[in-house]
Structure 1
């Protein structure tokens, strides 16, 4: 029997394991996926990642498949619908931030051609590959996440502090924080 070594945080449940094995740390350049990840990370503030993963499908449905164009046009009536939807994170400020973030996301797309070009420019378009021995060694934020968070905030984004931005960077592969013995770490083969 082959034992697969993963980052310790991914061993709690099947959803976390699947997310770790198939998404976390994989470089992503697709604006739609980047937007979804950004929104999910902003929704996670104060909650466990497991909670977000459990609600991911219902969040996707409630937020029109995380369609940035649709979300940027949400009205107060839509906010009230979301506030009454038990399948989502019913936090008014987070819902309003999602709308505001969609509008800011579109402005970046207009300025840079894509959000991908904007966000990947912070790492010169190639992932930062770290070599952490244990998950406890992985920082919750860095100078770079401070810089990105500050820039996003200056562009109108909300609920994207440095810790949330670092989690986003990890999720979309701007940084590879798989620990050195994890099978998903860049350069590791089974």
Structure 2
């Protein structure tokens, strides 16, 4: 990768010849996440609950930090099985607060348990997955620059409001837009990126 390869678009041609955004061009962990997972549809309950949980823990931190701790998060939260986490008691909260492998934030840990219970309760209304995907917009951004990618949208504002009504916590509009990007509800890959349109949800 060279700076000259950016051509004023924030899209970087990497040494393998593929074009990625600058944030995914150097760190191997972020590159692998970008190439294989980010922006791909998530349509299972555990996966959706995991993403909502990790997006909440990421607030105020870098996503690279969360990715590096992801295996520890999965171990600490029973593989993000909502039913298991919904049954957590005060002792589990204390256990999580003493786990150096995860982000030890009391409010975020409490929100993860609250959201597990809300996820289980939402099954009576069709489930978390269909609920979140029902906020897919009619159009998706078409950015050539990172600065052109919004941080929230009318749909993410509505999703955040609807989730809070169902008892979820730490689900603000910006966090929910990041979720929508990560699970393919919107495609915010730069137009020049080799990943643009690969989700199958939106055309290139």
TM-score (norm 1): 0.92
Contact 1:45 1:159 in 2 (8 A): no
- How many residues in Structure 1 have an aligned counterpart in Structure 2? 185
Q: Which has the larger radius of gyration?
A: 2
Structure 1 segments, 4+ long, off by >4 Å, are none
CA offsets 1:133-156 (integer angstroms, 9 cap, x no match): 111110111111111011111111
- Residues 1:123 and 2:125 are matched in the alignment: no
> Quick one: higher RCO (CA 8 Å, sep 6+), 1 or 2?
1
Q: Deviations over 1:41-61 (max 9, x none)?
A: 011111111110010001101
Instruction: Report the Cα distance in structure 1 between the residues aligned to 2:26 and 2:150, rounded to whole angstroms.
Output: 20
Equivalent residue number for residue 16 of structure 1: 30
Residue 124 (structure 2) pairs with residue 110 (structure 1): yes
User: Which residue of the partner structure matches residue 180 of structure 1?
Assistant: 191
Post-superposition offset of 1:2: 4.8
Q: 1:111: how far off?
A: 1.3
Q: CA RMSD in A?
A: 1.5
Query: Retained in 1: the 8 A contact 2:85–2:116?
Result: yes
Gaps of 5+ in 1: none
The Cα shift of 1:180 comes to 0.2
Normalised by the length of structure 2, the TM-score is 0.86
Tell me the SS of whatever aligns to 2:19: coil
Partner of 2:110: 96
Deviations 1:152-188 (A, max 9, x none): 1111111111110000001111111000000000055
Q: Provide the rounded CA distance (Å) in 1 between the counterparts of 2:120 and 2:21.
A: 34
Q: 1:161 aligns with which of 172, 187, 198?
A: 172
The reply to whether residue 38 of structure 1 matches residue 38 of structure 2 is no
